[in-house]
Amino acid sequence: MAEPAAAPSISLKRTPLHALHVSLGGKIVPFAGYEMPVQYAPGVLKEHLHTRSAAGLFDVSHMGQVALVPKSGKVADAAAALERLVPQDIIGIPPGRQRYAQFTNADGGILDDLMVANFGEHLLLVVNAACKDADIQLLRDGLSDVCEVQPLTDRALLALQGPKAASVLTKFCADADGMRFMDAGPRTVDGLACYVSRSGYTGEDGYEISVPTGSAEQLAEALLSDQHVLPIGLGARDSLRLEAGLCLYGHDIDTTTTPVEAALEWSVQKVRRSGGARAGGFPGADRILAQFDGGAARRRVGLRPEGRAPVREGATLFATADASEPVGKVTSGGFGPTLNAPVAMGYVPTTLAAVDTQLFADVRGQRLPLRVAAMPFVPNTYKR
């Protein structure tokens, strides 16, 4: 879950940790309407490898946090209402758990991807920064008869990611290590009333911590005081999620891609599919369910260039070295520091989506060979 950079001409916002980023030497760039650190002094490569080997702290306060509070007092009513807007089983999320979901449009395209947590009395949603205003309006237009839609503008969001994340956070939150992947709920962290989920956007074990705005810097500094933790910028966040095969909204998924085309079938539970107890009932259901039943014409795949040169977003894909008509396009691409090799993702016809299929990418007029690869490129380490 993330989003495209904002145009420089837009008036940029700052997260509650902006001053801390500057004091730590962060290189600030425009991103999704905010001034955000793209890297610190160690650089993207070292920040990436440090997160894979120890723990990295990310500021993701630009994301939107929204509470869906049922007017009836019954969280099941809020869950049933949200199912009008997403193809996922929201009613089935137990208290203290969260689930990945997508808002879809009437054509089955993805308006945004999000996390939905059941906090027992209400639902907590985390949405992408560039989409959050539109998402909040979508929620208000679609659910106001059942829910109070409450943007939590007084909270920051930190992500602590990596194999040392649990041992670090346990010093500040006694029950952190007892959480499983996708557990979520209120926790006390360093004496602060926080919301914690065991999840993230790196493929590593880790946590996302929602903290009151006024205490965000205090908590960040406490976590950074641990010798295993370094601040990590957007550059490494992007290379980590790419190695993990995770979608970036506005790049790998958007309003022109369906969950099936995006290889996100795993995120749509059987109860919402054809023959399920609550099949359909979400925007674009006819098209999405037809693709579940009959297949989609194209598919998001992993790609491994055969040389050392990265194949970047926008590169055109061809079935042969001398083909005149393209068959697809790269949507994310770069160098994978963990693999010490380039990796990419893109869309190709389903007939060319099998692992090890040979393709060619046009890079500055040259046809570079690559092969369809299984994802994630780097195995995830979630604590199940």
Q: Is the peptide bond before 259 cis (omega within 30 degrees of 0)?
A: no
pLDDT at position 185 over 90: yes
Find, among 257, 364, 357, the residue nearest to 314 by Cα.
364
Which pLDDT tens digit goes with each residue over 292-309? 999 999 999 999 999 999
What's the pLDDT at 106? 98
pLDDT band of 13, cuts 50, 70, 90:
very high
Which pLDDT tens digit goes with each residue over 163-181? 999 999 999 999 999 999 9
Ramachandran assignment for 216, one of left (phi > 0), alpha (psi -120 to 50 degrees), beta (any other)? alpha
What's the pLDDT at 8? 47
Residue with the two structure tokens 């194209």: 298
Average pLDDT in the chain = 96
This prediction's pTM: 0.95
pLDDT at position 187 over 60: yes
pLDDT band of 10, cuts 50, 70, 90:
low
What's the pLDDT at 4? 47
What's the pLDDT at 291? 98
pLDDT band of 336, cuts 50, 70, 90:
very high
| Contact assessment for residue 230 and residue 54, using Cβ atoms and an 8 Å cutoff | yes
Which pLDDT tens digit goes with each residue over 276-285? 999 999 999 9
Which pLDDT tens digit goes with each residue over 120-154? 999 999 999 999 999 999 999 999 999 999 999 99
> Residue 159: what residue type?
A
> What is the arithmetic mean of pLDDT over 21-32?
97
What's the pLDDT at 288? 98
- Virtual torsion, Cα 246, 212, 21, 310, nearest 10 deg: 0
Of all residues in the chain, the percent with pLDDT exceeding 90 is 97
pLDDT band of 9, cuts 50, 70, 90:
low
Give buried/exposed letters for 322-351 (b at 16+ CB in 10 A, else e).
eeeeebbebbbbbbbbbeeebbbbbbbeee
Residue with the two structure tokens 């790998």: 252
pLDDT at position 1 over 80: no
> What is the arithmetic mean of pLDDT over 363-367?
95
Instruction: Give the C-alpha separation, 215 to 195, whole Å.
Output: 13
> What is the arithmetic mean of pLDDT over 60-76?
98
Structure tokens at 250: 């506005």
Which pLDDT tens digit goes with each residue over 244-272? 999 999 999 999 999 999 999 999 999 99
| Contact assessment for residue 259 and residue 87, using Cβ atoms and an 8 Å cutoff | yes
Which pLDDT tens digit goes with each residue over 109-123? 999 999 999 999 999
Task: Order across the sheet with 123-127: list the strands.
Answer: 98-104, 110-118, 123-127, 64-70, 147-151
> What is the arithmetic mean of pLDDT over 22-47?
98
Instruction: Tell me phi and psi for residue 284, to 5 degrees.
Output: 75, 15
What's the pLDDT at 262? 98
Secondary structure of the chain as H, E, C letters: CCCCCCCCCCCCEECCCHHHHHHCCCEEEEECCEEEEEECCCCHHHHHHHHHHCEEEEECCCCEEEEEEECCCCHHHHHHHHCCCCCCCCCCCCCCEEEEEEEECCCCCEEEEEEEEECCCCEEEEECHHHHHHHHHHHHHHHCCCEEEEECCCEEEEEEECCCHHHHHHCCCCCCCCCCCCEEEEEEECCEEEEEECCCCCCCCEEEEEEEHHHHHHHHHHHHCCCCEEECCHHHHHHHHHHCCCCCECCCECCCCCCCCCCCHHHCCHHHCCCCCCCCCCCCHHHHHHHHHHCCCEEEEEEEECCCCCCCCCCEEECCCCCCCCCEEEEEEEEECCCCEEEEEEEEEHHHCCCCCEEEEEECCEEEEEEEECCCCCCCCCCC
Instruction: Give the C-alpha separation, 78 to 197, whole Å.
Output: 20
